[in-house]
């Protein structure tokens, strides 16, 4: 990797920190409804680059808690927005980064998530009832981070995820849904968290995932699509969880990610020469982390948090 571009870490840190302050920018306005997830993407990137202290932890925690709905136990994507399980996970993940889960009523949050499990084991995203395997992963991940997995029917949750497995080894958003790398991460991650990876055909799924690598070195989400930096996370993490990551060319993938950087102003785009954003900056750096890129902290592929954060949550609980 010596001859290729290097990671512009300082520029990326500056981009993330300044983006938060530009409240009237186009990017800020279009992300208003999912700002909690944006906070998770940006802050996790800072932590991976050893710069989490570039932000005021107290201010972040206060803002996250201002998105909390004490009557339901869930979090909204921004202040005054309705609660949803996605933003509840983002809030919990941000609090994990700062080791501040103590500000939560963990049982109340867990009860909110538990109440979204359906009879067939699936999960709805909120009170309006949309069902998707994304919400299965999100719910299981949230409850596991809070040490509250016992509150749901884990066996039925696993059965529902397995019912979404396809003949190509992949997983869809629902039974019969098309295999997609994002959904595969959600299903494999959920199975990893619940100790149920024996349900995965590792060789079949590994083959489908490694075929996502395009000629330019990047990864796509499904056949016949262009490569996109974000799949550096969705595909790589899944390959790592099923022990098949050696089936792709990591050097070509790293080169693709690095070529998507704005080396002057910071940030990473979906593909070379496109506009950068927080989402792709996070997933680009996360992908490099999974490939053990120098100077980037290691990530846990199932919990989508820095490994030291995950170890702190689970190892400290055991002591």
Predicted confidence (pLDDT) per residue in 280-313, tens digit: 999 999 999 999 999 999 999 999 999 999 999 9
3-state secondary structure of 140: helix
Question: 3-class SS at 74?
Answer: strand
pTM score of the predicted model = 0.95
DSSP 8-state class, residue 264: T
Collapse the DSSP code of 268 into the 3-class scheme (helix H, G, I; strand E, B; otherwise coil) and give the result: strand
Number of C-beta neighbours around residue 98 at 10 A: 18
Contact 77, 35 (CB under 8 A): yes
Per-residue pLDDT tens over the stretch 210-247:
999 999 999 999 999 999 999 999 999 999 999 999 99
| Residue 255 phi, psi (nearest 5) | -65, -40
Q: Which two tokens stand for residue 46?
A: 């800072």
CB atoms within 10 A of CB 195: 9
What contacts 204, CB < 8 A, 6 or more positions away? Answer: 168, 169
pLDDT, one tens digit per residue, over 167-210 is 999 999 999 999 999 999 999 999 999 999 999 999 999 999 99
Q: Which pair of structure tokens corresponds to residue 44?
A: 């996790």
77 within 8 A of 67, measured Cβ to Cβ: yes
For 167, other C-beta atoms within 10 Å of its C-beta total: 8
């Amino acid at each position: 990797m010596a001859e290729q571009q290097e990671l512009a870490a300082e520029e990326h840190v500056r981009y993330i920190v300044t983006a938060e302050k530009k409240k009237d920018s186009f990017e800020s306005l279009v992300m208003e409804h999912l700002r909690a997830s944006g906070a998770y993407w940006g802050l996790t990137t800072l932590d991976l680059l050893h710069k989490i202290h570039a932000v005021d932890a107290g201010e972040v925690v206060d803002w996250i808690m201002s998105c909390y709905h004490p009557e339901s136990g869930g979090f909204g994507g921004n202040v005054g927005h309705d609660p949803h399980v996605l933003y509840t996970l983002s809030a919990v993940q941000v609090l994990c980064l700062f080791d501040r889960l103590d500000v939560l009523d963990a049982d109340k949050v867990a009860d909110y998530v538990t109440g979204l499990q359906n009879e067939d084991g699936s999960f709805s995203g909120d009170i309006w009832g949309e069902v998707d395997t994304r919400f299965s992963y999100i719910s299981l991940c949230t409850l596991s981070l809070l040490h509250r997995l016992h509150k749901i029917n884990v066996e039925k949750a696993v059965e529902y995820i397995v019912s979404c497995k396809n003949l190509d080894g992949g997983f869809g958003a629902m039974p019969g849904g098309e295999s997609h790398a994002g959904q595969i991460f959600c299903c494999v991650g959920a199975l990893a968290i619940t100790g149920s990876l024996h349900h995965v055909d590792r060789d079949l799924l590994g083959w489908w995932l490694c075929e996502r690598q395009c000629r330019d070195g990047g990864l796509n989400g499904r056949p016949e699509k262009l490569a996109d930096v974000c799949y550096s996370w969705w595909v790589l993490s899944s390959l790592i969880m099923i022990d098949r990551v050696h089936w792709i060319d990591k050097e070509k993938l790293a080169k693709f990610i690095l070529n998507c950087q704005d080396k002057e102003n910071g940030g990473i785009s979906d593909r070379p020469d496109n506009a950068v954003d927080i989402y792709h900056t996070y997933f680009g750096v996360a992908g490099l982390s999974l490939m053990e890129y120098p100077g980037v902290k290691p990530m846990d592929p199932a919990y989508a948090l820095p490994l030291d954060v995950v170890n702190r949550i689970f190892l400290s609980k055991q002591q």
